[in-house]
Structure 1
């Protein structure tokens, strides 16, 4: 997770976003072996979750 959750509520939201992003991330994950593919999948889903958390913060401040 590149964007650290600042509260327990944000951490819960990030977890939900991460799980939701896994299916989408499968489309972009690559790797020749299981470990490489899994790492690519986790990275892609984490980046999506980070962006969703940033959008959540912007919504809450406006």
Structure 2
């Protein structure tokens, strides 16, 4: 299901980095994210709600603009 907040998500299995690209163009790189969290995010009906509840404030991150 398309998200009004999230444009794209990617996961680097080797480095356990979850990349989230927001519709605004902001990119967040969440560190040490288990692959199961990525799978759950990808399957979530509301990507924004899942991010807020299970990822933001839980995992360290770096951010940049596209």
Which structure's residues are more often helix, by fraction?
A: 1
Q: Who wins on radius of gyration, i.e. which is larger?
A: 1
Taking structure 2 as the reference length, what is the TM-score of the superposition?
0.25
Give the structure with the larger strand fraction.
2
TM-score (norm 1): 0.26
Larger RCO of the pair (alpha carbons < 8 Å, separation 6+): 1
